[in-house]
Amino acid sequence: MAGDLYSRFAQSFDRFSGKVLVEDGARSWTYGEIAREAGRLAARLQELGVTPGERVLVQTDKNVETLILYFATIRAGAIYLPLNVDYTESELDYFATDATPVLAVCRDISVDLFGRIGGGAMQVTTLAQLFADLPEAEAEPVPRAGDDVAAILYTSGTTGKPKGAMLTQDNLASNGEMLIDFWRFTPEDRLIHALPIFHVHGLFIAVHCVLFSGASMVFLPKFESARVIDLMASSTVLMGVPTFYIRLLGDPVFTQESAAHMRLFISGSAPLSADIHRAFEERCGHRVLERYGMTETGMLTSNPYDGERRAGYVGPPLPGVSLRIAEFETGRVLPQGEVGIVEVKGPNVFRGYWQMPEKTAAEFRPDGYFITGDMGLIDSDGYVQLVGREKDLIISGGLNVYPAEVEALLDDRPDVAEAAVIGVPHPDFGEAVVAVVQPAGPFDPEAVREALRKDLAAFKVPKAVLTMEALPRNTMGKIQKKLLRETYAGLFGG
Ligand code: MCA
Ligand code: AMP
């Protein structure tokens, strides 16, 4: 697709200038107002020395100012790097050191912390400071090439440190453009935006579907079922992770009548169980549209808008996406119906990991297909079913936790001989992080959880720390995680 990402933004800013783009509980902003603010903020960023290709690191609360900062960063030709507000100092230090941003924008309470991390090389500011003295004159949009990087989003890895996925102007523009057609977004739509805006799902998928189509959205600071149900009467689309749908079903106020004005419920980021899919339809008459994506690739497959939305399937590949199933070890492409690793290619697939050429090379096949790490099959109708993951990854409430990261911290403790971290079925989060520990002497599980909180974002901290005299091992001495998962499958009544 020709043209850079900001040109695509500008097309909508101009065309829908007088229309509301976003509202929060307090006020609404038109496309024109957001565009003007983004232009002025881009000028402010330039005053602060942000030049094309430099990284702007952002760890702020979810609000409209942060959204404007995203648009302004792209307008200035710089690279947007959003981070989960939950990250601890040691996690943030890694990102700041690795990405070498020229500017960090953080919450008021984190200014001192940001001054200490990343070798002290970056300027640190807050949204309040940025918006306090915006210049009158707007910055001209800086033109970028299609394969210039627009954003870096960090994803963890099964081994080692998180990797910064470089998403290009074209990756983001082409995926958004395709999705508005596929999911039939129009200027009449109003999206309930309850996702965080530091991940691909809430930031690019949700925001670009709205912006590119001339629709509107209501920005909620977080998911709250009562508020979401309330908004359904005046909205048309909800995009969420399975936990949203589980929580809606858990709220007796949610009925067919609540959902009568809605046209579409989309789910992704984690598996939506067939049971929840069916229960949702029974309750409100809507079949959830499940789709599948990744940080590195944006959206890959989707159940159809008009055709059959099949429970337990993520649908056929989206237009422009080539998807195949291969044997993991050899890369041999497998016949239809066989289970193997999912590999993908298309204009949506990222350019590589920031300053990690070897890791990038290891995750692509020689013919350019990206190895997702998900196991699946393609059925006779072309629908993809995901059956597991080759990567040792837990997805809790749509957030990824790599056991290796938690295990490393546990194994470092003097009271731990060895630890295994597993995902266990959880009624709210789908999967919950659980640590099974072989202690080396006196051991207090609650104290261990408390200690982990200092180094890990709250969603990664095990919901339970259990002990075993000896961890089960196979003949090679490897811990049998499968057995542990079976042993503790009922821990949360799941
Ligand atoms: C919060 N906690 C969690 C999670 N969220 N623990 C495990 N998993 C989580 N996802 C912690 C809190 O810190 C708190 O811990 C305790 O659990 C209870 O929190 P609660 O109030 O219930 O949580 P919440 O604030 O209501 O959030 C749950 C949530 C949220 C709504 C499911 O996590 C969420 O919005 N998830 C969506 C994430 C997302 O956008 N993923 C997309 C990435 P304590 O009490 O100990 O402090 S994947 C992606 O982008 C790709 C492209 C894709 O395909 O979409
Ligand atoms: P992330 O790297 O955070 O973007 O997470 C991407 C991963 O989320 C994928 O590789 C899948 O394992 C998982 N995922 C996303 N959507 C779905 C879905 N609909 N069903 C099952 N897993 C999903």
Write down the pLDDT at residue 1.
Answer: 45
Beta pairing partners, 25: none
Stretch 120-128: mean pLDDT: 95
306: how many CB neighbours lie within 10 A of its CB? 6
Say yes or no: CB of residue 242 within 6 Å of ligand 1.
no
Residue 236 sits in the same domain as residue 312: yes
Residue 244 sits in the same domain as residue 101: no
Q: How far is the CA of 93 from the centre of ligand 2 (A)?
A: 26
Q: Which helix (H) or strand (E) holds 81?
A: strand 79-82
Domain that holds residue 100: 5-177
Assign residue 13 the CATH number of its domain.
Answer: 3.40.50.12780
For a pLDDT cut of 70, what percent of the chain falls above it? Answer: 99
Residue 405 sits in the same domain as residue 361: no
Count of domains for the chain: 3
Residue 146 sits in the same domain as residue 126: yes
Write down the pLDDT at residue 25.
Answer: 87
Say yes or no: CB of residue 298 within 6 Å of ligand 2.
no
With respect to residue 200, please indicate whether it lies within any of the assigned structural domains.
no
With respect to residue 186, please indicate whether it lies within any of the assigned structural domains.
no
Residue 465 sits in the same domain as residue 374: no
**224-253 confidence digits (pLDDT tens):** 999 999 999 999 999 999 999 999 999 999
pTM (whole model) above 0.85: yes
With respect to residue 183, please indicate whether it lies within any of the assigned structural domains.
no
Write down the pLDDT at residue 267.
Answer: 98
Residue 227 sits in the same domain as residue 365: yes
**383-439 confidence digits (pLDDT tens):** 999 999 998 899 999 999 999 999 999 999 999 999 999 999 999 999 999 999 999
- Say which residue, 494 or 285, is predicted with more confidence: 285
390: how many CB neighbours lie within 10 A of its CB? 15
Q: pLDDT-derived band of residue 160, with 50, 70 and 90 as boundaries?
A: low
Query: 360, 389, 418: which is the final residue of a domain?
Result: 389
Say yes or no: CB of residue 302 within 6 Å of ligand 2.
no
Handedness of CA 182, 188, 194, 200 (dihedral sign): positive
Q: Which among 374, 377, 383 is the best mutation to test ligand 2's pocket, defined by most ligand atoms within 8 Å of the CB? A: 374
Q: How far is the CA of 198 from the centre of ligand 1 (A)?
A: 12
Residue 385 sits in the same domain as residue 398: no
Residue 352 sits in the same domain as residue 400: no
The average confidence (pLDDT) of the chain is: 96
Q: Which ligand is nearest to the CA of 373?
A: 2
Q: Which ligand is nearest to the CA of 302?
A: 2
- Say which residue, 133 or 231, is predicted with more confidence: 231
399: nearest Cα among 463, 484, 491, 346? 463
Q: Which ligand is nearest to the CA of 270?
A: 2
Query: 370, 389, 408: which is the final residue of a domain?
Result: 389
With respect to residue 283, please indicate whether it lies within any of the assigned structural domains.
yes
With respect to residue 403, please indicate whether it lies within any of the assigned structural domains.
yes
Atom of ligand 2 lying closest to residue 386 CA = 21
With respect to residue 204, please indicate whether it lies within any of the assigned structural domains.
no
With respect to residue 317, please indicate whether it lies within any of the assigned structural domains.
yes
Residue 418 sits in the same domain as residue 352: no
Stretch 205-212: mean pLDDT: 98
Write down the pLDDT at residue 168.
Answer: 98
Residue 44 sits in the same domain as residue 13: yes
Assign residue 442 the CATH number of its domain.
Answer: 3.30.300.30
Residue identifier of the C-alpha nearest atom 25 of ligand 1: 222
Residue 126 sits in the same domain as residue 234: no
Q: How far is the CA of 391 from the centre of ligand 2 (A)?
A: 11
Find the DSSP H helices in 153-310: 169-182, 200, 207-213, 225-232, 242-249, 274-284
Residues recorded for the chain: 494
Say yes or no: CB of residue 293 within 6 Å of ligand 1.
yes
Query: 146, 177, 208: which is the final residue of a domain?
Result: 177
Q: How far is the CA of 204 from the centre of ligand 2 (A)?
A: 15
- Say which residue, 494 or 302, is predicted with more confidence: 302
**79-94 confidence digits (pLDDT tens):** 999 999 999 999 999 9
As a whole number of Å, the CA-based R_g of the chain is: 23
Residue 339 sits in the same domain as residue 417: no
Q: pLDDT-derived band of residue 120, with 50, 70 and 90 as boundaries?
A: confident
With respect to residue 189, please indicate whether it lies within any of the assigned structural domains.
no
